[in-house]
Structure 1
Amino acid sequence: MTDWLVGLMETLGAPGAGLAIALENLFPPLPSEVILPLSGFTASRGEMDLLDVLVCTTLGSVIGALALYWVGALLGRERTLAIAAKLPLVKTSDIEKTEAWFLKHGRKTVFFGRMIPLFRSLISVPAGVERMPLVPFTLLTATGSLIWNTIFVMAGYLLGENWSLVEAYVGIGSKVVLGLVVLAIVVFVAVRLTERRKGRHASRR
């Protein structure tokens, strides 16, 4: 991964870092926790301009987010409900509740979601499904991404040869987030299975 990123930045410079971040939005396994500090470290060596790195990585974040936004927009609300109706243990009311919550808190979610691993990419899809106005979506995405990118690029810039420490510490946070997501899924499945069993018992009486 590191060799590929180094090669990309050596070939394209700061736009290469931006391209990597755009791809990271589309493929979350590409970690921004590696891309951004490495970009900062490369800038500290004078091989890229620091401001160019911040501009290009933020632009990459916006481009990747817009791509996923349009995936959600093309999917649309009716298709989402139709897919949900076919999924085991999922009710259309779940989607409707999520929809109502997003309509109420969507702007804050898009902004702060840019600073949470995993959700950084995923939040763009429901924004597209709900057809959140494009201008606010783009501005919130750019602002949240700029904050996130600046923190990690500057960390790599200041840490120099020790830039990989950023990945080590942030990786712990990413695992915590992933663990909470898995726990939430387990609880959801357990609750639905319990409801199903109770429904069967009630129908037999």
Structure 2
Amino acid sequence: MQQLIDWVLGIMESVGGPGIALAIFLENLFPPIPSEVVLPLAGFTAANGEYTIVEAVLWATLGSVTGALLLYGFGAVVGMDRLRVIAHRMPLVDVSDVDKADTWFTRHGRKAVFFGRLIPGIRSLISIPAGVDRMPLTGFLAMTTAGSLLWNTALISAGYALGSRYHVVEQYIDPISKVIYVLIVLAVVAWVIFLVRRNKRRSHDPDHEIDPDTLT
């Protein structure tokens, strides 16, 4: 972790604000780069006069939105049609499961993207289903920018206020992040158990048939 901090600090000191954008862009693509370390560090360097706190927030938000757009593009390339084909070929999963998820995201996608940008472990991944669903780009950009701006402002401001003690931010957020990761794992396990049990019930139901219309 110290090597990561030194690397990020070196980027910020060498290229200034664009270094923050680059670090946060990479954080979107590689979750091992934690924003709870990078952003308070950006606030600390802003307090040292490398750039203003407003510049730090704006550069960080630019990096967040750019990284989110790349993941949105990946999801859009996959698309709902390919995802339905993949679901049809996967054991336990029904095409209808994908359709239900798509319906939910169509209804609640804007809220999901906004609040997702505020949750460690979800911040980056939420852009992929938004792309798969082909969420309107204007709405996606608006919610991504708003959520990212809020998250970035909070952590950069904390680092700015704490100065050399910027690492305290990570100490408070890290336990929360771990709890969220555990909840995500538990949710995945619960979903797999549900799928297995559903498959067993269907295997004992001779009347169960696959609706061919769901495969078109």
Report the TM-score, using the length of structure 2 for normalisation.
0.90
Q: Equivalent residue for 1:40? A: 43
Task: Output the CA distance in 2 between the equivalents of 1:58 and 1:111.
Answer: 13
Which piece of structure 1 moves more, 11-20 or 189-198? 189-198
1:5-44 alignment runs, 5 A limit:
5-44=8-47
Q: 1:126 aligns with which of 122, 129, 139?
A: 129
Task: Output the CA distance in 1 between the equivalents of 2:136 and 2:201.
Answer: 42
1:52 aligns with 2:55: yes
Count of residues paired in the alignment: 203
Query: Stretches of 4+ moved more than 4 A in 1?
Result: none
Supply the AA of the counterpart residue of 2:63. Answer: G
Please tell me whether the aligned partners of residues 14 and 49 of structure 1 are also in contact (alpha carbons under 8 angstroms).
Answer: no
1:58-77 alignment runs, 5 A limit:
58-77=61-80
Q: Equivalent residue for 1:84? A: 87
Q: 2:141 aligns with which of 129, 132, 138?
A: 138
Task: Output the CA distance in 2 between the equivalents of 1:194 and 1:136.
Answer: 38
Q: Going by fraction, where is helix more abundant, 1 or 2?
A: 1
Cα displacement string for residues 179-198 of structure 1 (whole angstroms, at most 9, x for unaligned residues): 11111111111122222233
1:188 aligns with 2:191: yes
Structure 2: tracts of 5 or more residues without a match: 207-216
Cα displacement string for residues 92-136 of structure 1 (whole angstroms, at most 9, x for unaligned residues): 111111101000001111111110111111111111111111112
Q: Equivalent residue for 1:159? A: 162
Query: Taking structure 1 as reference, are residues 91 and 41 closer, same or farther at Cα in structure 2, changes over 3 Å only?
Result: same
Cα displacement string for residues 152-202 of structure 1 (whole angstroms, at most 9, x for unaligned residues): 000000011111111111111111111111111111111222222333344
Structure 1: tracts of 5 or more residues without a match: none
Report deviation, 1:80: 1.1
Supply the AA of the counterpart residue of 2:34. Answer: P
